[in-house]
Amino acid sequence: MGESAKHIDENMNRHGEAEMEQSLEDSQTVDEKLSHRRSSTGSQILTKKQKILRIAALLFSQVCVLSGYSMISPFFPQEAKSVGLTQTEVGVIFSIFAAVTFVMSPIYGVAIVRLGPKFMCVAGCFLCGGASLLFGLLNYIPGKDVFFVLALLIRVAEGNGSAMLSVASATMILESFESATGLMYSLIEMSVAVGYIGGPAFGAAFYAIGGYSLPFMVVGGLTLAMSFILLLVLTNEKAEAQAANFLALLKIPGIMVMFMLFVLSSLTMTYLDPVLSGWMVDTFSITTSTVGLIFVSWSAAYAIVSPLIGKLVDKGYVFSIMLLGVFSSAIIFLFMAPSPLLDFIFHKQTYLWMVVVVCVLEGISGALLYIPCYQAAINIAGVNGYKQNVQTYGLVSGMMNSGYALGSLAGPLLSGYLTDKYTFKWATTVMTFVLMGMGVVLALYVTIMKMTGRPLSLPPEQETKPLLSSPINQS
């Protein structure tokens, strides 16, 4: 009995020692992972609740900033014309925001490591809030020329702040949940859609209640308040600087294809802004409020399907979703007016119900095209030697914002020119061929990569390894 008990005790001791050794090994593994994480990002480890709070604050800040940008569309053109501004001058005030975003986004994407995402988020939000408040005081400015110059300068400041916030907030959100970047980016796009939808509605409502200044005081004040909330809830994020910049990233063939898709996605979503409403009013004799609801249906469809697409992207369906988006969008554009190429079916007839359906489907196809682009760009950067860290997210976010701004500039200009030169029906037909062309380019790129055996993404276990120690294979 004594020897048996002794034998049992020895077994238990050995078992306990083995468990302790295993526990120490597990603890060491966790510590190594956390140490690697801190060394690569320079950031503290956050709890899930802290991450969710941070993401919620950043998303709501985006809504506030984009509402401030978009809310002027229902009433500012009339106010500006009453001061004596021409339609061209009003157009310049609207477009300068996108021009500044196009120029500054890649700069902030490179500078994010030095400035820090927290500083850029807080400063960008504060700048947009202050600019919105100042824009609300323009009705007290006498004289057309001073009004125009001040409006232009304020929009430049607002575009600059928006570029800072967009680049830095996307970086921080994606850094928080690296295993679900598709879903995170879809949430970012939801906030963008809500800002674009809510802005004109809030602007029109507050303008009706209190006149010109009230919309800017409300939205600008809320945006300023959010800058102080961001100051409290955000933490400093740092990353090791890599020997890379925006142009070096853009030289990678796959990244250039993604940049073209960013531009095309934005062009698709803004292409009809200056021409669709006038065409619908003239064709169907509907009110401007009905036109507004049709535009809302487009943005609402985009916002609703974004999280679902984000989840599919996280499961690995990246390029297949983009190909579906670009080709479906091309086909859908044919039915907008509809195209003269379909006269053998519709006999030059137009239908309001079909316009509504097309707008909803374009919202869905736009999400299919745009949301996977970010994940694809991150994947391509990874296989070409870029670490999955703050700097890479910043570079890709800067590229994304710049491409989106370029498309926002080009889309309305192109559709306006084609509608004036030809007709609205031919303008939408041209967009079909542009989308088809880009779809062919994307399909060729994916086919070439598959045939040559070059990867489109890293294996999961290599996504956090320091890649710059290995040769860079441009693809």
pLDDT at 249 over 50: yes
Q: For 280-309, what is the mean pLDDT?
A: 86
Where does residue 223 rank: exposed (0-12), middle (13-18), buried (19+ CB within 10 A)?
buried
Note the pLDDT of residue 44. 60
Using one digit for the tens of pLDDT, what is the confidence trace for 414-443? Answer: 888 888 888 899 999 999 999 999 999 999
Say which residue, 171 or 34, is predicted with more confidence: 171
Choose among 367, 377, 462, 401: nearest CA to 112. 401
Per cent of the chain over pLDDT 90 is: 40
Q: For 178-182, what is the mean pLDDT?
A: 80
pLDDT at 389 over 70: yes
Say which residue, 402 or 23, is predicted with more confidence: 402
Say which residue, 220 or 474, is predicted with more confidence: 220
Note the pLDDT of residue 458. 67
- Please, what's the b/e burial string for 434-455 (b: 16 or more CB within 10 A of its CB; e: otherwise)? bbbebbeebeebbeebeeeeee
Using one digit for the tens of pLDDT, what is the confidence trace for 327-340? Answer: 999 999 999 989 99
Q: How far, in Å, CA of 118 to CA of 129, rounded?
A: 17
Which residue segments constitute the domains of the chain, with CATH numbers given? Answer: 45-238 (1.20.1250.20), 244-475 (1.20.1250.20)
Note the pLDDT of residue 1. 43
**Residues whose CB is less than 8 angstroms from the CB of residue 350 and which lie 6 or more positions away in sequence, other chains included:** 283, 284, 337, 338
Note the pLDDT of residue 29. 40
Note the pLDDT of residue 88. 80
Say which residue, 301 or 196, is predicted with more confidence: 301
Per cent of the chain over pLDDT 70 is: 85
Whether omega for the bond prior to residue 106 falls within 30 degrees of 0, making it cis, is: no
Q: How far, in Å, CA of 41 to CA of 55, rounded?
A: 18
| pTM for this predicted structure | 0.78
Note the pLDDT of residue 260. 94
Element (H, E) at 469: none
Per-residue pLDDT band for 243 (boundaries 50, 70, 90) equals low
| DSSP string across 346-414 | HTT---HHHHHHHHHHHHHHHHHHHHHHHHHHHHHHHHTT--SSHHHHHHHHHHHHHHHHHHHHHHHHH
| DSSP string across 135-204 | HTTGGG--SHHHHHHHHHHHHHHHHHHHHHHHHHHHHHHHHHTGGGHHHHHHHHHHHHHHHHHHHHHHHH
Using one digit for the tens of pLDDT, what is the confidence trace for 5-46? Answer: 444 445 544 444 444 444 434 433 433 443 444 444 445 667
The answer to whether the CB of 368 falls within 8 A of the CB of 325 is yes
pLDDT at 303 over 80: yes
Per-residue pLDDT band for 469 (boundaries 50, 70, 90) equals very low
Q: For 313-333, what is the mean pLDDT?
A: 93
Using one digit for the tens of pLDDT, what is the confidence trace for 190-231? Answer: 898 888 878 888 888 888 899 999 999 999 999 999 999 999
Note the pLDDT of residue 183. 86
The answer to whether the CB of 189 falls within 8 A of the CB of 370 is yes
Q: For 81-110, what is the mean pLDDT?
A: 87
Q: For 93-116, what is the mean pLDDT?
A: 89
Note the pLDDT of residue 37. 46
Using one digit for the tens of pLDDT, what is the confidence trace for 339-387? Answer: 999 999 988 898 999 999 999 999 999 999 999 998 899 899 888 888 8
Across the chain, mean pLDDT equals 83
